[in-house]
Structure 1
Amino acid sequence: MRRLGRRVRHRPDHVRHGHPARGSGGVLHAPQVPARLAVAASIGRRRAAATPRPRPLSSRGRRVLIVILALVALLYVLVVSFYNAEGTNNVTGGIGPTAESGLIITVEPIAVNPLTGQATVDLSMAWQGSDMVDADGHLRENTRVTISSSVGTQEAKFIAGDSLGRLETTIGIDGEQSNYPFDVHTGGLTFSADTYTKASDGSIQSTGPLVIGLQSTGGVSGWDTTSALGVGLSEYQGMDLSFNRAFSTQVFALVLLALAVILSSFALVVGVLAFTNRRKAEVGLMSWTAALLFALPLLRNYFPNGPPVGASIDIFVYLWVIVMAVIAATLNVIAWMNQTRDALYAASAHVEASHSNEPNPELHHGA
C-alpha cells in the first residue's frame, strides 16, 4: 500500500504496542537475554549463595534478647547504687551524746589485707572536758594510752604540755580468704589509759586510770565494715571490727566467673563438633582455643581484690574451666590431624575446579 508516494508497512498489533509475541498456544515467550548478562547473573547467584545472609530475628529470639538486656541493666543499676554506698561503717554502741570528761578515741579503719591477716586503723585522740587539758588543749599530766590486739600491745605516751594526737596501728583479723568473694574477716581492739610519772631511775609509775569513750567513722573501699563499740565511758574499753566484701566486688567476681565458664564451654562444644566430623577442622579453631589458654589465666587476675590461686573458686570452678579449654584445644588438634590427605586433595581440587569453570565477566566487558 502506497500513501503519498511512500510505502507503509503494517505491523502486527502485538509488536506495535510493545507486547511480546504469542505462540499458537497463547503462551508468552521469555525475552532473549545476552550471554554476557546471563554469565554475570550466574556468578552473582553463586556469590550470594556462598555469602551467608542475616537470619531474621524471631519472636522468641527477640524475647531472649530483651531478657538479656534487662538483666544487664538491672545488674548495672544494682552495682552503681550499692557502690555509692560502699566503704561506709555500720557502727553500733559508742560513747553517745555526753558531757562527761574523758579520753575520746575515734577509730577509723583505712586498709584490709586478708593475705597477711591484718587491718590498719587510724586512732584519733582528744580529751573531752577541761580537767586534763588547759585552754590551748595541752595536757596537764603525762598520759599513756595502751592499745592491744591479737598482734600485740602498743603504747602511746604523751608528756605534759603536749597535745593529744593520732597514730596508726595494725590489728590482726581472722577469716578464710579462700571463701572469696563471700569471705568475712573479724578482729578486735582493747584500750586503756592512765596518767604516769617517771622516776629518777627511768621507770614509769602509774598515778591513776582514765576513763575512755569510743567512736568510729570512715570505712575501707571495697569492703563493708561493721564496728561494735563499747558503750559509754569506762576505764577499760573494747571494740570488734568485721569486714566483708562489698556487693559490687561479689557481683563482678561472679560475672567474670560465669563468662569464663561460657567461653570454655563454647570451646569444648566446638572441639567436640570438629572431632566428630560435624564441623571442618581449621587452623583458626586451633588458634582460638590455644589463645583461651592464655586469656583465661589473665581474666583470673581481673577479679577485684582477688585471692591467690588455690581459693575455693579455683578448686570448684576456675581450674576446671582451664581443663575444659585444654581438652577443647586437644580435640581440635586431633581433628585436624585426622584429616586424610586424599580428603584434603579432593577439597582443594573441587575449589580449583569451581574457580576455573567460573567465567570472569570483566573479560567479556565491551564484547
Structure 2
Amino acid sequence: MRKHLRRVRDIGLRRLVIAVALLIAVMAASVAGYLASRNTTDQESFFGDDSNPDRVNVTVWITKVDPTTQQLSVTIVDVAPNGALADTDGNFTQDVTLTTAAIGNWKADIKAGDSAPDIEQKVSVDGAVTDYPFDRYTGRLEVHVFNAQGNNLPLALTVVNTDPFFGLTTTAATSQNGGLAVKLGLHRSAPTIVFAVFIMLLMLGLATGAVVAAFYILHWRRGLIFPGCSMMAAILFALIPLRNAVPGNPPIGSIIDFGSFFIAEAVISMSLISSIVLGFRHQRSIERAESALAEEIPSDDAATAAAERP
C-alpha cells in the first residue's frame, strides 16, 4: 500500500515538474518573440557623409504610417550644422533652406543665428491597404539643405522609425539634384501579423464550432435546441467586434475578410438558420409523436381496467 502511494506521489510530482517546465518554455519563447519584435521600433538608419567635418546633421522621425490616406507622418528634428557651418552657439552661420519631397509644407527657411525648429511633414507612400495583414508600402524620403547661394550642403541623415505597428527597411537612393534620398519599405510588425492571423484562425474555428452544433441538432433530429441556437447567434454577432479589434482598422474587403470573416459569417448564418427552420420541423414531428403516445396510454389503461372487472 505504501509503495502504491509513493508511486502515485512520484507520478504526480513528475507531472507537475513537466507542466512547470512547459510553462517556463512557453513564457521564454513568448518573451524571445517580444525581444525580436522590439527591434522594429526605434530603428535607426544612417546615410550621408558623416566623415565630412563641415556638414549638416538631420534626424527624421517616422511617427505614424497611415495606410488609408497613403501618407507617412515624419518629424524633422536636430537640424544641426557642424564645423565651418556652425557658429559658437551651434547655429547656422548663414541663412539656409531645408526642403524635402513631402506633401504640402515641404520647405523651411532657417535664419543665421537661429536654432532650427522641428518640422512636421507628410510623405506619400504607395501600397494596397486591402492586403492587410500582409500589406506593404514603399516611399521615398529626400532631404536638401541649401545655402544662401543655392548650393547643396553636405548632409548626414538619420532615419528613426517609432511607429510600433510597422517595421521599416531603408536603402540609399540617388538624387539628381544633390542632397540625400532614401527608399523606404514599410511592412506590418510581427506582433500585428501574429495577432491578425490568430483572429482569422479563431473566426474559422468558431465557424467550425457552429457547424458541429448544427450537425448535432439536425443529424439526430433533436428539434429546437435553444442553447445551441443561442450560442450560434452569439458567435454570429460577436465576430463583428472581434474583426474590428485587429490593429490598423483595415477596410472592409481586405484579405482578413475574404480569408476568414466573410466565410465565418456565412457558415454560422447558414448553420443558425438551418438549425431553426429544420429544427422547428423536427420539433413539430417530436411533439406530434408525443401527443399520439399520450392518447394511446389512456385507452390501454381503460382496456386493462375493463378486463379486470368480474
Please indicate the TM-score interval, normalised by the length of the shorter structure. 0.7 to 0.9
Comparing both structures, which one devotes a greater share of its residues to helix?
2
Q: TM-score, normalised by structure 2?
A: 0.77
- Whether 1:180 aligns to 2:132 is yes
1:167 CA drift (Å): 1.0
1:184 CA drift (Å): 1.1
Aligned residues: 272
Query: 2 CA distance for matches of 1:315 and 1:170?
Result: 32
Q: What's 1:166 paired with?
A: 118
Task: Confirm or deny: 8 A CA contact 1:214 1:230 kept in the other structure.
Answer: no
Task: Confirm or deny: 8 A CA contact 1:214 1:229 kept in the other structure.
Answer: no
Query: 2 CA distance for matches of 1:305 and 1:348?
Result: 58
Report matched runs for 1:245-264 at 5 Å. Answer: 245-264=188-207
- Whether 1:336 aligns to 2:279 is yes
Task: Confirm or deny: 8 A CA contact 1:90 1:227 kept in the other structure.
Answer: no
Query: 2 CA distance for matches of 1:306 and 1:75?
Result: 28
Q: Residue type of the partner of 1:260? A: M
Q: Residue type of the partner of 1:158? A: I
Q: What's 1:285 paired with?
A: 228
Unaligned runs of at least 5 residues, structure 2? 1-18, 295-310
Q: TM-score, normalised by structure 1?
A: 0.66
Q: 1:300 aligns with which of 208, 221, 243?
A: 243
Identity between Structure 1 and Structure 2 (%): 25
Q: Residue type of the partner of 1:126? A: A
Q: What's 1:325 paired with?
A: 268
Larger Rg: 1
Query: 1 CA distance for matches of 2:225 and 2:144?
Result: 73
CA RMSD of aligned residues (A): 3.2
Task: Confirm or deny: 8 A CA contact 1:272 1:331 kept in the other structure.
Answer: no
1:239 CA drift (Å): 1.1
Query: 2 CA distance for matches of 1:163 and 1:245?
Result: 36
1:96 CA drift (Å): 5.9
Q: 2:65 aligns with which of 93, 98, 112?
A: 112
Q: Residue type of the partner of 1:119? A: L
Q: What's 2:80 paired with?
A: 126
Query: 2 CA distance for matches of 1:319 and 1:216?
Result: 40
Task: Confirm or deny: 8 A CA contact 1:275 1:335 kept in the other structure.
Answer: yes
Query: 1 CA distance for matches of 2:42 and 2:25?
Result: 27
Q: What's 1:23 paired with?
A: none
1:153 CA drift (Å): 6.6
Task: Confirm or deny: 8 A CA contact 2:49 2:155 kept in the other structure.
Answer: no
Q: Residue type of the partner of 2:98? A: V
Matched position secondary structure for 2:147: strand
Query: 1 CA distance for matches of 2:236 and 2:285?
Result: 32
1:268 CA drift (Å): 1.5
**Residue deviations 1:200-255, cap 9 Å, x none?**
xxxxxx45442222122343112111222469xx9421112221111111111111
1:297–1:188: structure 2 CA closer, same or farther, 3 Å change rule?
Answer: same
1:176 CA drift (Å): 1.4
Q: Residue type of the partner of 1:183? A: D
Q: What's 1:36 paired with?
A: none
**Residue deviations 1:39-58, cap 9 Å, x none?**
xxxxxxxxxxxxxxxxxxxx
Which deviates further from its counterpart, 71-80 or 186-195? Answer: 71-80
Q: 1:85 aligns with which of 39, 51, 75?
A: 39
Task: Confirm or deny: 8 A CA contact 1:275 1:334 kept in the other structure.
Answer: no
